[in-house]
Structures are given as C-alpha cells and as structure tokens.
Structure 1
Amino acid sequence: MRPNGLDPSSILKRQIRRTLSGLWAERLSRAFWPFTTLALFCAAALGFGLQDVLPPLVSTWVALGSGVALLGLLALGLWRFSPPRRVNALDRLDRSLPARPLSALADAQAIGRDDPASGMVWQAHLRRMLAILATARPVPGDLRLARHDRFALRYVALTAFGLSLLFGAPSRITEATEIAQLPGRAEAVGLGPSWEAWAQPPSYTGRPSLYLNEVDRTVLQLPEGTRVTVRFYGQPGVMSVVESVSGRDEAEPEDMAQDFEITRTGRLSVRGPAGRDWEITMLEDQPPEVELIGMMERERGGQMRQDYRAEDDYGITGGSAEIALNLDAVDRRFGLAADPDPREPITLDLPMPVSGSRTDFTESLFGDMSQHPWANMPVTIALQVEDARGQMGETGPQEVTLPGRRFFDPMAAAVIELRRDILWSQENTARADQLMRAIAHRPEDAFRSDNAIPRFRSAQALLRASLDDGLNESTREELAQTLWDLAILLEEGDLADARERLRRAQERLDEAMRSGADPSEVQELMDELREALRDYMEEMAQQPRERGEAPPDGESMEITQDQIQELLDRIEELMEEGRMDEAAELMAQLNMLLENLEFVEGDGEGGPGNEAMEGLGDTLRDQQDLADDTFREFQEQFNRGAPDADGEGEPQGSDELAERQQALRDMLREQQLQPLPGEGTPEGDAALEALEDAQRAMEEAEEALRDGDTTGALDRQAEAMEALREGMRNMNEALAQDRRDRGEEGQQTGENGRDGSRDPLGRSLGGEIGTDDDMLQGEDTRRRAQELLDEIRRRSAELDRPDAELDYLRRLLDRF
C-alpha cells in the first residue's frame, strides 16, 4: 500500500506537464524539420529576389516544384508524427530518476503481508521512493537532429532566412502567389513593378549611406567614388536607369540590378512607374598635399630630424621619404674623387599622428643615419603621401646635408673618413690600405688608447686579405662596422666602456625583473648597476671638457648622485615587493633621464669662469679644425707623392695653415693674460702650466708647417689639443672647488630655495620624485608635450634598446 494513501502523480503534475511539452517539441522537430528547412529556403529565395533574375517560365516551374516538395514533406511529417501521451511523460520521468520510484510506488507487497516487520520494511521502502520522487525535475525534449540532418541544412536555411529579413526585401515574400500564376496575370491581381536604390559613399569619407527611395531632395551632393546600386523588381524591361554621373556604357534594358560609381557631376533618373530624378553634384576628392618645414636638423647623437606638414580633405593614410645622394654637390676630392658604387636611395616611412585627425597635421621624421655612407654629405629629400583613394601628393627634391655623428678626436675623424671612402667605392680599397699602413707605422703615436691598436690592426688585416679578389659586400660591411667601433672608442674613450658596463647592468636587471630573481640576486644586480652608473656619470661629466665643448646654452639640467640613489632605491623597493611592472617602468624612466643628462660647468651664466672656459673651448675647436685641414694637406701630399719630412717641395697650402696656427697661438696668449679661474690655487697653477704647454706645442706646429713638415705639425697639434683639454679640466676643478667653498655644492636653486633644474620630462628636481610640484608650471605645455612625444618616438625607433624600455615606450605611444 502507498504511504498515507498519496498518489505520486499528484506530486509531479508540473514535472509531468513540462516533460510532456518536451516530448511534443522533440517529436515535432524530428517529423517536420525537412519541411521547415525547405520552407525557410524558399522564403529566403523570395526575399532576395530570385524570381527577378530567372525567366518568368522558369520562375513558374520552380515555384510549382517547390510547392509540390513542400506538400510532400508535410505529408511525410504527418505520417511520422506520433502525438505523445501522459504515460509517455511518466515513463521518461521515471527513467530519469534512480531506482525508478514511479514504478516502485505502483508495485504491491507480494509476500509477508501479515508479518508486521515485513510491512514496516515495505513502508520504509516506499518512503525512500517518495523521497527520491521529491527530487524529480522535468526532462527536456531531445532536440538534437545531427544524426538526422548530417549536413546541418536547417541552420543554413535559418541563416539565409535571417539575412533575407535584414538585407533583402521581406515584403516580396508575399509575391509567391504571383510566381505561381501564369505569365501575364500580374496586372490582373494588381501587382506592378518596383525599385530600390542606395548611394554608398566611400568608407573613408565617414558619410552615411542613403536609401534613395526615402530621399525627398532632388539635388544631392555626393563624394567622388560613391557607389550607386539600383534593383528592379517585376517584369524585366519595364523600368530602367538613365544617368550621366559614371561615364559607363549604356546598360542592357533587361538588367534588373545595376551598380556604378560616381565620377562626375550629372543627373540620375529611374524611369518607369514611380520613377525619380536627382541632380548629382560630385564632391571631388582632392589629392593630398605635403610640404617640408625648414631644413633638415641634426639632433643629439647625430640623429636626423625633418619636420613636415601634410593635409587632405579626408585624411592621409601613409607616406614615405626618399633620400638620394646629390652627387653634383659632393666635393669630389680625396676618397670621393672616384665614381661611387651604385646604392639605392634611402626610403623611410613617414610617422603618422597616433591619435586625432589626419586631415591636417605637422609631424617630425627621425632617423639615425650616422653609419650610412652618405652621412654628413649633400643629399636630396623628397616626401610622398597617399590618401585612402590612392591619390599621391609629393614634394620636389630639396637639397640638404644628411646629418650624422660628428667626431672631434683627430684620429677618430680620420678613421671615419677611411670608413666613408671604403663604402664610397671599391676603387678606394688600395688607397685605404696605403693610408692604414702609414698610420700603422707608428701606432703608439697615432692612438692615445692602447685598446685601439689591436682593433685597428684587425681592420687592416681584414682589408689587406681582400685586396686581391676585391671586397665583397659582407666583408665590406664587417670592415665598416669594425672601423665605426674603433672611431667610437677613440672619440669617447672611457665613456664608451662606462656606457657599455651600464648597458649590461641594465640588461641583467631587466632580465631579473622578467624572470623573478630572489632578493640576493636583486641586491647584487642593484649594486652592480649603482657602480656602473657612478662610473658613467663621472666619465660623462669629463667628456664635454675633453672635447672642449662649452656648457649648453639656455635651460640645462643638473642632477646629483643622491637623486639618482633615491630613484634606484625606489626601483629596488618595488622589485622586493614583487611589483615588477612598476619597477620596469621606473627603470625606463631612469634610462631616459640618464640619456638626457647635461652637466652644468662654470660658476654661472656670464661669470668670468664661464667666459674663460668658453674662450678656451673656442680655441680648442679652432685648433681641431686646423688639424683637420692639416691632415687633408697631408693627404694631398701623399697623393702627389711629395716629400714633407725634409721640407723639399713645400706645398703652397702650408703657408696659409702656418698663418692660422700663429693666429691661434696669439689668441691663446691673450687668453692667458685675462683673469682665469683658480689663480693662486694648485688647480689654477696646473691649468696655467697646461696652457703654456699648449702654446709651446702650437709654436712648434707653426714652425713645422712653415718647413712643410705636415706629419710633425700634426703631432704637435695633437699635443696642443691635449694640453688645452688638460688645462680646461684643471680650470673646471678650480671652479668646482670655488663653488664648494661658497657652499653651493653644484646646485643652482631658484626662488624660495627651490631647485631650478629640471629633468628631461620638464619636472623639477628639487623636490621628491612623483609629487605634484613636478608637473609643468608656467611653461608652454603644448610645446613641451610635443617635444616629449618626439623624443619618445625617436627612442622607440632605436631597436638596440632593452626590450623592457621599448615595451614601455610603445605603451606610451599607444596611450598618447
């Protein structure tokens, strides 16, 4: 017996009802999916106008065939369909539960009915079945038809029907009755021809499409290249298009679909029932324009910068710059006298605005051409831009000098000239070998750095090994790279080594950030970075004085070791906290800061110390120019085979060089008579002694030039420049000691005791890094922001930078 006389079916009314609904859906879908699939295909064909592209007779037979097929599939579905009953729902629900409780509750106790213990067990069994029954949930119908519809035709039909509703003419589905009738009966039922037309402007114009059926205006202004689409429905030949805006051949009267592009101003007419006329005024797409702004400039490190402006009515999509050698303007002497080897023009992509409109903008093209054979030589530059329609705008070739790195050390400049000659022409290899053999005769006198001699001999051996068979392209590139590295070593000396150590320390620390180093490794790498950074800053402070460069004009930057230490401590703290992304960004900022360092020398703008340093710097630069001219005179003597050691056959140009040397010696004597910084101090006395040595070397160089001994003159001129550098270094130390005595400690403070120096981002270095006081104040923020954006773009183009820094720079460009 059932516990408490409950009917299980009364508990499961909702579950049974929903399960029964699922059975109906399941059996209907299995029986009628072929019929619904074909019906959807037919509706989609009508919506897309299949009846318009088929001949009337064919359309009639297709319609009749489709109708017969639909009736057959409908009959097949009715034959297969078996309506589900309540007992079917109970059985499916029972099968979905463990132990089939419905069947168990319908059973009766077969044995032990009179045994009370057996009856209690039976009642417990029924209660368990009722508990299971209470957990019953409706069983959904199985609507999976993959085993019946192996090619998923039902989904294809449904997709086609949906597209016909969106892009077709849904109202035309009702024309099925017209298709089913015999030709010529359309007028009898009141159905006539119709049309639709669209005007789609090019996407780059940003203008919307027009549905011409709903446009009330008779005069339209449409951009050049607008696509006009016209569709006719009904009897072919009843309606037509007459237009004079595309220049195409006259369309066939039977064409029910026509597409053409607007290329001129004219008239567009749809002829036939409910026809329309429009006067079309074409908005001509003007070609883009581009112009150069100013002359090509040399940026820090010898980088090229060329500003330009471009505009277009709808926007520039891209552009390029072509740089070609201006051979007619080249000074064809020495290594440039030979005809140059053929070399393709330099092609650079023009930078486009990262955000904002491209209809009218001003940008700057950056590029590092220092190692190119045409560096510091006359070239022509021509810009070309393109709009979305493919129209081109270009500038004429403009004559400029391709910027490159300048070398102030005489031997470095000579090595760079050898490198240029080898890259200029294969004919120069023998001449370059002779010059290198002359230099290698007494290398200890030619090179100040012992490390430079092995590199020079390596380059010489590489050149001599290729003299017989000629330099192939790969060997020439290898030799050019070797000579470039040698020139950098000669020019920068210890600074190159310090920069290399700093670069390696930064790369190792970046790798530790990416791989997750432990605290001991972090501490070791940070110590290594601090040491390399200290050496780099010390060498960098010495380089301007060694080259005789005056302090930078205008706003300059001063930074102390304590401020760098503060930034390094913050990076280390972030790494220890596991905030590697923030540490990497701060490291990239430190890299940008270091590369923009400019050390302020002297005792303030306009002071006597600065005037003396600037005067000596001018003298040193003039002496450098004179040494360059002397070396060219030596080359001419070498090419002519004229002797110079004993003075026989003295070249005419030596007298002029001697006069210039005498003028420089007199200038230096006058500068020694002026008040010099540090007089009476050990540093000042050392500076005066060095200047006297420089004057004595100049006098000996002058005598050697008058005797025609250009080799001896070059040696004495090198001694004079070295003595000038030594004197300037001692004077700078005297100025620094004077500032320390006054308690300035090298700091230049502004009003209210605030530090007046700024970092490369325009932030004050007097306060804490990251405070609100660091923001730009009282300056042209748009100008500073543009300068910063240009600097970020330039740095992001230098692929030899660490990956972490490049990633940070690119994220900055993506954001701003």
Structure 2
Amino acid sequence: MHPFTPKDLKHSLDRLKGPVRRTLWGMRAEVAVRALWPLMAVVLLALAAVMMGLHEVLPIEGLWAAVGLTVAGILWAVVYAARSWVRPTRVDAMLRLDESLPGRPITALMDDAAIGDGDAASMAVWRAHKRRMAERAAAAEAVPGDLRVSSRDPYALRYVAVLAFGMALIFGSVWRIGTVDDMARGGGDALANGPVWEGWAEPPRYTGKPTLYLADLDAGALDLPVGTLITLRLYGEVGALEVSESVSGRVAEADPEAPPQMSFDFRVNQGGTLAVDGPGGRAWDIAVIEDQAPEITILGAPEVSAMGEMRLPFAAKDDYGVEAGEAVITLDLVSVDRRYGLTVDPEPRPEITVPLPLPIAGDRAAFEENLIDDFSQHPWANLPVTVAMTALDAAEQAGQTAPTQMVLPGRRFFDPTAAAIIEMRRDILWSRTNLAQTAQVMRAVGYLPEDIFRSDTTALRLRRLIARLETHARYGLDPEIQDDIAQDMWDLALELEIGDLDDARERMQRAQERLNEAMKNGASDEEIAELMQELRRATEEYMQQLQREQAERQDGQQQGQQQQQGETMQMTQDDLQRMMDRIQELMEEGRMAEAEEALRELQEMMENMQVTEGQQGQGGQSPGEQAMEGLAETLREQQGLSDQAFRDLQEQFNPGAQAGESQGNEGRNGGQGRGQSHEGQQGQGEQDGQQQGEQGGGGEQRPGEGQGGTEQSLAERQQQLRDELSRQQGNLPGSGTPEGEAARDALDRAGEAMDQAEQSLREGDLPGAIDNQSQAMEALRDGMRSLGEAMNEQQQNQQPGQGTQESDRRAQQQDPLGRSQGTNGATGTDEQADLGANPSERARELLDEIRRRSGETERPELERDYLKRLLDRF
C-alpha cells in the first residue's frame, strides 16, 4: 500500500477548503442573526409606526414618549448585539465540519502517532487509518448555519415586527417618513393644526389595477380607467380647502345655506380636471382609459362527430377579460327546402340559447374555445340555421358576431327504415298538422315487418306507435304528448340503427351493413371513422366468440366432421386487421367503389371462417410446445445470421471471392448458413420458409425467411429477428414460476445482445456483431433450457387435462383495458392499438383512463397492479 505522506495530508486539507469556507460563512450568518434580531425588530416597528402615520395623530407628549422608547430600544439592542457578537474563526468552522463527519476524520488527519514510531507494522496500521480518514474527509459537505433564534425570542417579537412592517407597506405610505424631518424642525404644530386632505383613486376591480393614494402623487397628467371611484377627505379648518372636478360629468347645485362639504365620492366618467384648492392642495389632468367592448368571432365551420355532436370553434378577446358569452341559434326559414312535411308553416319555437364555454383557469383577455353540444334530437337538427355569438365583459358591454349560416348538425341515420322514422319525427315536430300524413308513411314503412325488422318486439313497437299517431290525428295532439311521441320515435330509430343485439355475429353483420350504407350515402370522414371503429369492435367480439366455441370442442372427431361441412377459411387476427386497414385506407382516399368491393369480400369471408391464432392449425400443441418451437426457430435464424456475418468478414479479406468460394460460403439468406447465393438464387432458407408457411396456415413469414441478401441488409434482418423475439416473449408461458422468470431473464439478455449486434452491423463492425450474436445465441439456449424446466414443473403440478383447460380459460380473458390477452394466455396482447386519426389525443385519453381506473379502490388488486405498471412504463 502506498504510504500516507505529508503531501497526501496537504492534498486532503486542500480539498476541505471549500466546505470549510462555506461552513464559516454559515457560522457568521448565524452569529449576525442571533445578535442583531432585537435591533432589526425595533427598527421595523419604528418604521411601521411612521409609515402608518402614527406620529401625525398622537399628541405631542405621546409622540415624545414614543421617540424616547424607540431610542432606548435601539440602545439596548446595540448593547445586546455587542455582547452577543462572537466572531467565528476558520478553526471553529473546521471543528464544526469535523463534528458532522463520522469518526471525526479531520482531527485524525491532524494527529500524529504517539507510540510505535519504530514499529513498521504499527506505522502501517496508522497510515491505513489516516488514509481511511482522508477518504471520509473527502466526502465532507458544508454545514449550514443555524439561523433559528426561537430560544432567544420565546415570544416571537421578531415576527410581530415583520407583520407590522408588512401591513405598513400595504396600507401605509413610505412618503410619511419624510414628515418626521418637518416635525423635528418645528413644523409639527402647523401640520397638526393646519388643513390637510387625503384621497384615493380606486379603479374597477375587474381591471386588476391597484388603488392609488392621491396624496403620494405629484400634480400633472393622470390616466385612470373609466368608472374609477374617487374618494376625498378634508381635515382641519372648515372651508380652508375646496375640491373642484369635471370628470364625473355631474352638475352640482350650489346651496348657499349648506355647510362646506368635507368628503367627496364620485366616479370618473370622462376626461377632465381634479383639483384640491388651498394650502398643500394639488391638481391633476385626468385622461380616461376607455373600456373597449369585447370581440368574438367564429373560426370556421362546425366539426361533427359520427354521433351528431357539434364542435364549433370560436375566439374571443377583451382588454380586461371576457366574463360570459352565449350562442343564439335561429331557424333560417328562408333557406329551408320546403318540401314534403316542411311545406306547412312551422309551429313557433324559441331560439336555442347556449352558454359559451370559457377558460376555467388562465387569462380570458384572448382565448380560443369550442362550443360543444348535441342537437340531434332538436326539431331543427339537419336544417339551415343562423348562429350569432355574444360576449360580455365585466362592464356589461357586449360584442356580437355577424349571423353565420350553417346546417344545425345532428346525428345521421344510415339504416333506411331508421332514417324514414327520423324524417317523420321531424315532420310532427315541425307542425302537428302533419300527424295524419306521418301515420300513413309509417304504416307504409311497416307494411312487411318480417322483411325489415329483426325482432317481433321492434315490429310491435312500430304498430303501437302508428296507432298512437292515428288516434291523435283524429282527436288532436297536446305539446306534452307531441314530445312523448317524438321520444318514442327517436328510441325506435336508434334501435333500428344500432340494435339491441346480444349475439356477436349479428352485431358484426349489423356494423357491416351500417358501414356499407354510410359509404353509399356519402357520409363524412368522422362518421366513416366511427363506423369503422364500431366494425372493428364487433369483429373482435365475433372472433373471440369463435375462439371460445373452438376451445369448447373437445372431441376431435366432431371437429373433423365440422371441417368437412363445406369450405372453411382460416384467418389470423393479423390477416383480418390488414383487410380492415385496407378498407379504411380506400375510404380515406375516396375510392368508395373499391372499398365497397373489399367490404363485400370481408363479409363473404366472415360468413364461413375458422379462426386461428399463431400455429393452432397444426393441432395438439400446448402453449409451451409452441413457445419452444418458436425459440428454436429463432435460434436457427440467429445462427444463420451469425454465419453470414462471418462469411462477409472472410470476404473482406478475400475480395475476389465469388459466390460460395470463401470456405463453405453457400449463400446469403442466413438459414443455417444456407440460402440465396450472391446472385439472388433461391436457396434452402427460402424453401424452408415457404414450407413452414404452408404448414402453419397463417401465411405469416418470419424474419429472414424467403428474403435474400440483395433485398435486405443484415442489420434490418437482425432487427426483424429482434422484433420476433419480443413477440415471443409476450406469449411465453410459466409466468410466476422461478423457471419461467429465469427464461424471461435469459430472453431479455438475448434481446439486448441482438440490439447491440444490430448496432454493430449498421456501423460496419462485423467482429463486434459476431460476438454479440454469439452472446444472443447463448442466452437463447439458456432461455430454452429454463423454459423446458418450467414446462416439466407445470406438468408435474397439473392434473391430467388441467393444462389445456387453464390455457383455454386464460385465452378467453381480457385485460383491464378491454383487449384480449396475448396468445397462450400470457400477459400482454397481440392486438395493435387503434389510436384513430389523432394518435396523440387518443394516447392522452388512454393514459387518463388508466389513471382513473388505477385510483378506484374497488377494483381487484391484481388489476390495479397491472395498471400501475402500465403508468410506470409509459
């Protein structure tokens, strides 16, 4: 061990200079606060008394007594400070720093060995001890000073002084300190006996401007908001001071018998002058700051959701902030297409008045907001209207937009029968004289109920509704009954449009029909997106129902008989997702004819479909066996990529080598070192990939299969293999067991090694990539070994047949967000999140929903733990 020399001691002490210096300054601040707090308290109390004008109202005897007490207090505080002041030294700071460290290492560094100077072993121990103390001293940090003086000020007099001074700053005046000099020179009597005045200018509270003390303001120009309250108070000899003003706009009537006025209160309504005439008086030229009326504008056309909700953007501004606003919607009768039930004059209806939303927090001087409301059930829905918005400020001034013409948004119905009922509902709300005609049309709509309605209940509701219409057409209709019938017609139309379906297949077919009608009727993009999302949800539920039905089929013979009953089609979730993505893409591009054809193909495929996930088509494989097979294939692919990287490294040192000439280089595809040659010929790796795709039934190609080196770089194929491993990790069985966790840890190491190999390949570092690939293969072997142990342990703990039932039951579960769990029932999901047209907004909504659910204590603890892990991750 290197001996601890004086040079090391000096180096250790030099490193303590900074902490010691900061500790010394803290000690000095501590001494100053403890010694000077009485002086500061006395000075603050004296200043507060002067700023509040206490010396102006006390009699002369009391004033001199207060001055005497103040001087005595200052002298006592100075004596106290002198007796309490102890100047700290550097040694004191070092001792305090040493006391804050364990073992007092600074003192140990300054000590010398008392005995054992001649003993080499003792000195070695002593040097080791000093080196250890030097290490502790190196971690020293400055000790802050203790600025608390509660032990010296048990009654908290210092806080009383600070509070008094703060109140004087708010309610008093600093200018009053200057009057003490006048009193010292004998002007106190004149001030006490002569005329004085006070005045305040208080702007309206909504302006946010402070109150002005007029006695502190010099004469001259003064800008005040309109509505400012002027308050003046005169003291002393009556009539010695007079007030004149022309800012209120009022005309004062002179009354010679009235006593002179000593107080004045009026508001500033116009520009003019304000003067206090007499000894010590002042005059101001007041300019009025006008309060501008608010401005409001409609920013564009309304945005309409598929469910009929309107979002109308607007902007408003005001010099002091908008206080309230409203939108008034009026029927534009001139622009209404007066046909069918609208030919008669409409019944009078009041305008629609909707309060405008305002920012809850922040500045309202200028903002943009959206008026969001649903007018789908209003009689004017989908009819021309005019919209006028009004904004109000605190002075009750109004700003209004020009009437804007628009069609009042409402929900659109794509089912023909539902659309007809909604149109008849509009007619009876337009005028009760349309009752007879409406009843006839409704009876025509329900002529063949078995061809229109899916249930007898719906047909019965329509017949009862027609009977009510015919009855009231003969005997009259009250407004209350009119609204009741309109609500029944709305509910019936909703049932026809959405349906009350319990069967997943019927729900999916219904969603397909609505989407098809929407494309034919020229629906908006928002409506198409909403209906497409509904189709996705209905299809997912139908797929889950098929999965449950297949899981319940335990008799292999029954399955064989079922597969012989006509043609069936096998599709994976990914295949179905791609088809729906293609339909949505065609609709977004405006290619409706192709989208309708693709939707028709999807309907035909769903009519006769058998659902498969992963490699279930192979039959009989447990989740563990599927995971082992997938990992084995990944290991083979990684071996092939490593072999190819090694061959490329050889070719760097043999540039003239042709295909297959570098010591067994048989291609570039990478499957066990075999595959396509340099010229792009199909090799063994591609053939194996095709055979596996045919056997798997899924049609899904693994990374590296069937892709030659001329198509993809090694780094891209390494990345695909890494993605495939991530997918396999999500479906790994054995969760919660030591063996299963060991397998997951090994696969995590393999994934990290693959990432490093990809990075090395992109940088052209072939030797580094080969090393990382070797580590990945070793980790994959460890993971497969641990997974095999987990499978054996699970088989020993399960009863016969229990594993399959448990897997089927877990496959039916959904996670707390409503998604089906991943393949083999593992934690996670194989589904891709559909974030809609605005991924950022959808992601924010999902996070808010996760936070809300994680805070609900009534949810199971397992679900809440899962939600918290999601929040920690994202």
- Shorter chain as denominator, the TM-score bin is 0.3 to 0.5
TM-score normalised by structure 1 residue count:
0.44
Higher RCO by CA contacts (8 Å cutoff, separation 6 or greater): 1
TM-score normalised by structure 2 residue count:
0.42
